[in-house]
Amino acid sequence: MNELYLMIPIRKKKMMKVSFLSFFILFCLLGLTFSPIQATEKNLPQRSWFVDMTKFQSSSHGRISCSECHPDIEEKGVKHPNSNLLNRPSTLLYDYKRCEKCHPQVYQRYLKGEHAKALVERKKDAPTCGNCHVSHYVVSGQSRLVLGRWMTEMCGKCHLSEMRTYLENYHGKAAASLGHEASAYCTDCHGAHTCLSLKKKEVALEACKKCHPNAQLRFTDYVIHASKEGVKKEDVEKLNKLTILRWIEIGFGIIVFVVLAFFYSHTLVWILRKVHEWLKRN
């Protein structure tokens, strides 16, 4: 009888330790894989030849007549449907200069940006208005958070590695993942239509200063997109910074490993001792 009484608490303790351990391991694994924002195909804007009139009418363009943006529909002599139209994506066919009439400033800003430059240089996939906005369903006055999360995925379609590093970085974690609107979304630093390259420190500093007014040139040494993907060989400074970051990461990795290894082996030895004691008693 006595022995049985003794056994129960020890078993319970052991069970508690084992379950605590498994919870800890599970928690670590979850931490490694869990990310609130994930770019999936189904979250990206889809287009089809079907125009959802309810959605169209409740959009910012809902009161504009079709012919305002599609003057060619009304032109006599143009066949509709036209096989040329049906065979190619409408974003490639549409003349986005038509947007200028109502959005002149945005249009002018776009023309000065890196995307327009890439388009002129005929780089594949350089975006025009239609790559970023689905013109039939645009909605004005959305919250900063909604716009921010939308653009993270939308820009991330083409700049996958920048999206990933942004989401791993302080600003992305705070702004996109946790919804802290004071932190920075892509366009706070790069601009939506101006689309600035921030490789030059002076340009980057101007962007940082919007929210870090006391920043000095050294402040821009902070690496926002910590990935070698797409970094050119001539960009020695960034590559060096990434190497240092890598070594720091490895250093911390070793420390964490040693600490965990010590405590796990300690626990294992402790369990063995308890088992040993228990066996001795029986």
Query: Rounded to whole angstroms, what are the CA distances from 220 to 56, 198, 202?
Result: 43, 10, 9
When asked if residue 186 is in the footprint of ligand HEC (CB under 6 A), the reply is yes
With beta carbons less than 8 A apart as the criterion, state whether 17 and 267 touch: yes
In angstroms, give the least distance from the CB of 247 to ligand HEC.
Answer: 18
When asked if residue 198 is in the footprint of ligand HEC (CB under 6 A), the reply is yes
d(CA 207, CA 198): 8
When asked if residue 248 is in the footprint of ligand HEC (CB under 6 A), the reply is no
In angstroms, give the least distance from the CB of 52 to ligand HEC.
Answer: 10
Nearer to ligand HEC, 13 or 230 (CB): 230
Nearer to ligand HEC, 134 or 271 (CB): 134
Q: Give, as ranges, the residues between 88 and 107 that touch ligand HEC (CB under 6 A).
A: 90-91, 94, 96, 98-99, 101-103, 106-107
When asked if residue 193 is in the footprint of ligand HEC (CB under 6 A), the reply is yes
Q: Give, as ranges, the residues between 256 and 275 that touch ligand HEC (CB under 6 A).
A: none
Structure tokens at 60: 């910012």
Choosing from 17, 112, 157, 173, the residue that interacts with ligand HEC (CB under 6 A) is 157
The full length of the chain comes to: 282
Structure tokens at 274: 């308890």
Structure tokens at 224: 């926002």
When asked if residue 149 is in the footprint of ligand HEC (CB under 6 A), the reply is no
When asked if residue 163 is in the footprint of ligand HEC (CB under 6 A), the reply is yes
Nearer to ligand HEC, 177 or 267 (CB): 177
Q: Taking CB under 6 A as the rule, which mask of x and - marks residues 202-231 in contact with ligand HEC?
A: --x--xx-xxx------xx-xxxx------
Task: Establish whether the linkage from the previous residue to 89 is cis, with ω within 30° of 0.
Answer: no
Residue 198 identity (one-letter amino acid)? L
Nearer to ligand HEC, 117 or 274 (CB): 117
d(CA 202, CA 199): 9
Q: Taking CB under 6 A as the rule, which mask of x and - marks residues 123-142 in contact with ligand HEC?
A: x-xxxxxxxxxxxx-x-x--
d(CA 32, CA 29): 5
d(CA 111, CA 117): 8
In angstroms, give the least distance from the CB of 7 to ligand HEC.
Answer: 54
Q: How many beta carbons lie within 10 A of that of residue 148, not counting itself?
A: 21
Structure tokens at 141: 């006055």
Q: Give, as ranges, the residues between 39 and 78 that touch ligand HEC (CB under 6 A).
A: 47, 49, 51, 56, 60-61, 64, 66, 68-70
Residue 86 identity (one-letter amino acid)? L
Nearer to ligand HEC, 219 or 278 (CB): 219
When asked if residue 145 is in the footprint of ligand HEC (CB under 6 A), the reply is no
Structure tokens at 253: 């990795």
With beta carbons less than 8 A apart as the criterion, state whether 46 and 130 touch: no
Nearer to ligand HEC, 161 or 267 (CB): 161
Please give the distance of CA 75 from its chain centroid, rounded to a whole number.
Answer: 43
